[in-house]
Amino acid sequence: MDIKRLLIATAISAAILILWPKIFPPPKTVPAPAGAVKAPAATAAPSPAATAVAAAAALATAPEKPASPPPAALAPIRAEEAANLVIANSIYEAKLSNRGGELLSFRLKRYQDSKKAGLDLVRHEEPFPGGSLRLDPADASLARASKELFRHEVKEIPEKKQVAVTFTFRDESGHGVVRTYVFGPSYPFRTSVQRTGQESKPASLVIGPGIGNPSKEEVQSYYTKPGGTVFMRTGGKIDREAKDGLKEPLELGTGLVAAGVEDNYFLTAFLPPANASVTLRPVMLEKTVEGSDKKETLHESEVVLSAPGSIETEIYLGPKDLDILASIRPGMDRMIDFGWFSILAKPLLFSLRWIHGWAGNWGLSIIIITIIIKILLFPLTYKQLVSMKKMSVLQPKIETIRTKYATKVKTDPQARLKMNEEMMALYKTENVNPASGCIPLVLQMPILFAFYMVLAHSIELRHAPFWLWVQDLSTKDPYYVTPILMTITMWMQQQLTPQVGDPTQKKILAIMPWVFGFMFKDMPSGLVLYWLVQNVLTIAQQLLLDRYTDLGPNKGAKRKQK
């Protein structure tokens, strides 16, 4: 009986297990959306043995997953061969190299060098590097990049009259440099440097060393100093460093208006943004001495502009022209070094430019402005001549006073004091001012110095011809004709001038023409021309006054006798 009941219970259980899924089917499972994470069902913790078996089964049945691929390496960017690009407009011709993307030459079409060719502001003679706007060689990575061939692209921008050049380089490690130039119709242009793969390191550009390609005579001349550095701060202050004046790098920091390399007439300079830092750096170059195997050391300097990661700046390569510099940035016209006499030099330059506008010759313009200055100074010159004539009339009385104290003045201070008191009393009685004869000379000396600064630093007078052998008023007379004539006329003028003063003073005055002649022999011929014309006008003036006034020889004495 128990067995029968067991069999019936077993049959009923089997029937239930078989028929239950068909009578009560399970709900359909909704597939999880892509990307959704399916939450695991709550189950009892399996035994360690079951876990091990399940893990083994999973490893046996699961397909192998491929390993994730490494990140793709950046392809190097290089040019296959060297190439030079020429960008030209009406005022300059720029030549760029795809080796480092540097500037090989910047030739000004409106100015000539000593060989009558277009003036190149990039110095390329030995031992100079032959390029400008170079990647900083002090940075090892940039130094390597500067030797590589960059891939380049040229794009014209007609609406702005600009040409953009892009140089790109990247090595196998992903480190590279992107350089751009944007040239327009005026002298300033824009350039940028961007580091790739090393954005945390500074991007640095270098201007210099040197500027232009001066002739041997220009390098040796005392009056031309090519290659010095100049910089202008935001407050308008301008400072200079001689090319051999730097002994160690000089960090100027940020906030500069301009910084670059100059000579008397031209400037190559960064016009940096506010975040860029400027450093002046000394450079030692080895040059072979001409005609031998010996080396000489040249002390030069260069300007470095840098900023973190990338740098974009404006560049000026051009003449030191007052109008052009003033139009670029306020105050930049003061980078023309007229020195202390700028208050006279600038009016002189503007006057010369106005006269040249209708005279058409700079030498003739100098002669005309000298005549104008002489006319303006005539009242003082006349006063000088009157004073010197009166002094010549008083000369016998002055000599009498000197003779009276001649034996005492060397040993007795009181005697010298009394002698001076008697002379001053004589001057007061005769209404003579002994110093009045010096006033015109005192006024002429600043004008002379201002003329020198105009000739030495005004681009208008550079290589300006005059007549016959004088073909450059900014350099010395090649045959010394004008210095010799200046010395002779100065001596003649002295002979016509009434002789006053003690014997020692007369001896000093007697040698002055020869001293001036020696000093002026290597000065700009335009300056010598000014002094020569000044002497000729003074001689003519004295002759006319002696002839048509009562200030001629002995006339003043005759008038006193009457």
Residue 33: phi, psi to the nearest 5?
Answer: -65, 155
Lowest mean pLDDT of 228-242, 321-335, 505-519, name the range: 505-519
Q: What does the pLDDT look like over 4-33, one tens digit per residue?
A: 454 455 555 555 555 545 454 554 443 433
pLDDT exceeds 60 at position 404: yes
Residue 69: asked if its preceding bond is cis (omega within 30°), the reply is no
**Residue with token string 């091990």:** 52
Token digits of residue 556: 């003043």
Residue given tokens 């067995």 in the structure block: 3
| Per-residue model confidence (pLDDT) at position 169 | 94
Dump pLDDT digits (tens) for 342-365: 888 888 889 999 999 888 889 899
Query: pLDDT tens digits, residue range 141-176?
Result: 999 999 999 999 999 998 889 999 999 999 988 899
**What per-residue string of b and e applies to 61-87 under the rule 16 or more CB within 10 Å gives b?**
eeeeeeeeeeeeeeeebebeeeeebeb
Q: Place 134 in a pLDDT band, splitting at 50, 70 and 90.
A: very high
3-state secondary structure 523-553: CCHHHHHHHHHHHHHHHHHHHHHHHHCCCCC
Residue 261 class from Cβ within 10 Å (0-12 exposed, 13-18 middle, 19+ buried)? buried
Say whether pLDDT at 470 is over 90: no
Give the phi and the psi of residue 207 in degrees, each rounded to 5: -110, 135
pLDDT-derived band at 328, boundaries 50, 70, 90: very high
Tokens 């128990």 found at: 2
Whole-number percent of the chain with pLDDT over 70: 79
Q: Which ranges of 117-170 would DSSP assign to H, the alpha helix?
A: 140-145
pLDDT at 32: 38
pLDDT at 25: 53
Q: Which two tokens stand for residue 24?
A: 């009560």
Q: Measured between alpha carbons, how far is 189 from 362 in angstroms, rounded to an integer?
A: 32
Q: What is the pLDDT of residue 257?
A: 92
> In which band, very low, low, confident or very high, does the pLDDT at 499 lie, cut at 50, 70 and 90?
low
For residue 367, is pLDDT > 60?
A: yes
Tokens of 437: 């004869």
User: Would you call 480 helix, strand, or coil by DSSP?
Assistant: coil
DSSP one-letter string for 403-435 = HHHTTTTTT-HHHHHHHHHHHHHHHHHHT--TT
Residue 439, pLDDT score:
62
Percent of the chain at pLDDT > 90 equals 29
User: Which of 70-79, 316-325, 512-521 is the least confident region?
Assistant: 70-79
How far is 349 from 345, CA to CA, in rounded Å?
A: 6
Per-domain residue ranges for the chain? 84-337, 346-561
Residue bearing tokens 């335009």: 526
Q: Is 165 helix (H, G, I), strand (E, B) or coil?
A: strand
127 upstream amide cis, omega within 30 of 0: yes
Instruction: Say if domain 84-337 classifies as CATH 1.10.10.10.
Output: no
Q: Which two tokens stand for residue 516?
A: 């001036």
- Find out whether 302 and 262 touch, Cβ atoms under 8 Å: no
- 187-196, 327-336, 410-419, range with greatest mean pLDDT: 187-196
> Of 440, 385, 380, which is closest to residue 550 (Cα–Cα)?
385
Mean pLDDT computed over 316-325? 93
Give the chain's largest Cα–Cα span: 188
Counting beta carbons within 10 angstroms of the beta carbon of residue 177, is it exposed (0 to 12), middle (13 to 18) or buried (19 or more)? buried
Strand residues in 427-496 grouped as ranges (E)? none
When pLDDT is averaged across residues 376-401 and rounded to a whole number, the result is 75
Strands 256-262 and 295-308: unpaired
Among 84-93, 231-240, 483-492, 499-508, the minimum mean pLDDT is found in 499-508
User: Model's pTM, two decimal places?
Assistant: 0.75
**pLDDT tens-digit series, residues 187-202:** 999 999 999 988 888 9
Whether the Cβ atoms of residue 333 and residue 310 lie closer than 8 Å to each other: no
R_g over Cα of the chain: 44
